[in-house]
Amino acid sequence: MIRVLVVDDDSLTCKILSRMLGPDYQVHSFSNGADALEHFSHHGADIVLTDLKMPRMGGQELLGQLIKLDPQVIVFVITGHSSLESAVAAVKQGAYDFIAKPFDPDDVLLRINRALKERRLEDEVALYRSEQERQRSRHIPLTRNPQMQQLLDLARRAARTDSTVLIQGETGVGKELVARAIHQWSPRREQPFVAVNCGALAEGVLESELFGHEKGAFTGAHARRIGYFELASRGTLFLDEIGTTTNAFQVRLLRVLQERVVQRVGGGISIPVDSRIIAATNLDLEEEARQGRFRADLYYRLGVVTLQVPSLRERREDIRLLAEHFLAGHAAINPRITGIAPTGMRLLEQYDYPGNVRELENIIERAMILEAESELTPESLLIGCQGESVGTSEEEPLRIDEAEQEHILRVLKSCNGRKLEAARLLGINKTTLWRKMKRYGIGGD
C-alpha cells in the first residue's frame, strides 16, 4: 500500500486529509516537521503532504531533509492564498506540486494519482535504460590480456569514426563480439546491428539477402525484398566470413563501399545507404589478396582499421575469467552448481582450445548439464575437451583420456550397464560410446 505522511500543525487539516486518503493509502499524520522527519528516516514514505509554517521544523526545511534522505520522494506543499508565493518557491526547491486550501477531494486524489503515475513511468524508463546498459555491457569482451586490451582500445577509437573495420582471427575467438562492441561504442549504437554469415549463403542468395531484390527478379521472387544494407541503414552491417565470397560478389560489394548506394537484384534504381561496415574472416586476407584469391582493392577498402583477435591459447590469463563468466551465464541450467573445482579449473587452464572461446563456453555449458556435484569437476569438463592430454604441470598433470575413462565407467555403473542411457547422459551417440569403450578396454556387450 502507498505510504503517505500528512504534516500540519492544524489538527483539522490532518483529519480531513487522513479521512480523504484513508481507504486507499496508509496514512500517518504529524503536527510538526521534526516528528515527521524522524518517522520518515526509519520507515520511509512514498508521498508527503506538508504545511510550510509549523513549530520546531517548517515545511521548507523538512522538504530539504526529505530530498536528502530520498530524492525519489513525492512532496506536496499545503498552501493557502497567503502562502502561495512560498509554495511556488518550495516547488522550485524540489516539491512536486502544491495543494491549495480548501481541499477539493477529487482534485487532491487526481494530483496524487498523477504524481504516482509519473513516478512509475520514470522508474520504468530508468529500468529500461539500466537494462539497455546491461545488454550493451554483454557485448564487451572480457579480458585481462594486454594484447587483447590493446586491441579493444584500438576498437574503441575506431568506433568513433565511420571507417570500415576488418577483424581477423581463428574461428571462435569472438570476432562478432568485437564487432558488436564497436557498434555499442559508436554513435550508431541506437540503430540496428545486422550480422550476415557470408560463408553460409550461396552467391545468388547472398546478393539477394544483402542488396535485396525486386518482385520477379528471379524464380521464386514473388515480392520485393529489402536487403541487409538497407535494413542496417544508419546502423552497422557485420559481414562475417568475408574471405569465402566469390570475385563477382566482391566486385559488387566494392562498388557499394565506394558509391554508398545499392541496387536491388532485378532493379535499376540506386538506393543510398548509410551503414557502417565491419567485416571478419578467419583467413589471412592480406595473403589471400597477394595470392589472387581475394580482390586486393576490396581488401584495402575493408582494412582501413584491421584488428587481429588473439586465440584463447595466446591469452590463457582469460580462461578463468571467461569460465566463471560462462558459469554464471548458464546458471539456470543447473542451479546447484556453485563454482568450478580447483582441479577442474586447472584442466581448463591447461587445455589448448582449438575452438577458442566458443569451445570453452560449450565445455562449460555441457558440464553444467552433466555435473552431479556442486562444483564442475574434471569428469564433467573433460567431455568437451578432446585430446590426449592438457599439457604438463609440476603438479600432477591431468590426462583427459584417463579422466574420460573414469567418467564413462561411473556413468555406465549408474545406468547398470545400459549403454543407450549412458550415451544419452554423456551427450554422445551409442556408436561413439562403443568406440570409446573399445579404446579404453571397457568390457560389456
Question: Which CATH number belongs to the domain containing residue 181 in this structure?
Answer: 3.40.50.300
Over 60: is that where the pLDDT of 100 sits? yes
Over 80: is that where the pLDDT of 392 sits? no
* 125 and 197 in a common domain: no
* 115 and 247 in a common domain: no
- All 3 cell numbers of residue 356? 577458442
152 lies in some domain: yes
Which pLDDT band, with edges at 50, 70 and 90, does 279 fall under?
A: very high
Give the residue among 164, 332, 349 at the shortest CA–CA distance from 340: 349
278 lies in some domain: yes
* 175 and 96 in a common domain: no
12 contact partners, CB below 8 Å, separation of at least 6: none
Q: What residue numbers bound the domain in which 117 lies?
A: 3-132
138 lies in some domain: no
Alpha-carbon distance of 159 to 1, in angstroms, equals: 48
- Provide the mean pLDDT of the chain: 87
137 lies in some domain: no
Which pLDDT band, with edges at 50, 70 and 90, does 387 fall under?
A: very low
State the pLDDT at residue 302. 97
* 346 and 376 in a common domain: yes
**% of the chain surpassing 70 pLDDT:** 90
445 lies in some domain: no
Over 80: is that where the pLDDT of 444 sits? no
Q: What is the pTM of this model?
A: 0.62
Over 90: is that where the pLDDT of 105 sits? no
355 lies in some domain: yes
Alpha-carbon distance of 434 to 283, in angstroms, equals: 37
* 200 and 91 in a common domain: no
**What's the total number of domains in the chain?**
3
First CA to last CA distance, the chain: 68
* 219 and 348 in a common domain: no
Alpha-carbon distance of 426 to 367, in angstroms, equals: 10
* 115 and 192 in a common domain: no
**Which of 135-149, 151-165, 244-258 is predicted least confidently?**
135-149
State the pLDDT at residue 390. 47
* 158 and 51 in a common domain: no
> Is 383 or 73 the better-scoring residue by pLDDT?
73
> Is 251 or 201 the better-scoring residue by pLDDT?
251
Give the residue among 51, 44, 85 at the shortest CA–CA distance from 66: 44
State the pLDDT at residue 223. 83
* 288 and 178 in a common domain: yes
CATH number at residue 368: 1.10.8.60
Sign of CA dihedral 330, 336, 339, 343: negative
Look up residue 406 and give its DSSP letter: H
CATH number at residue 95: 3.40.50.2300
Alpha-carbon distance of 73 to 67, in angstroms, equals: 7
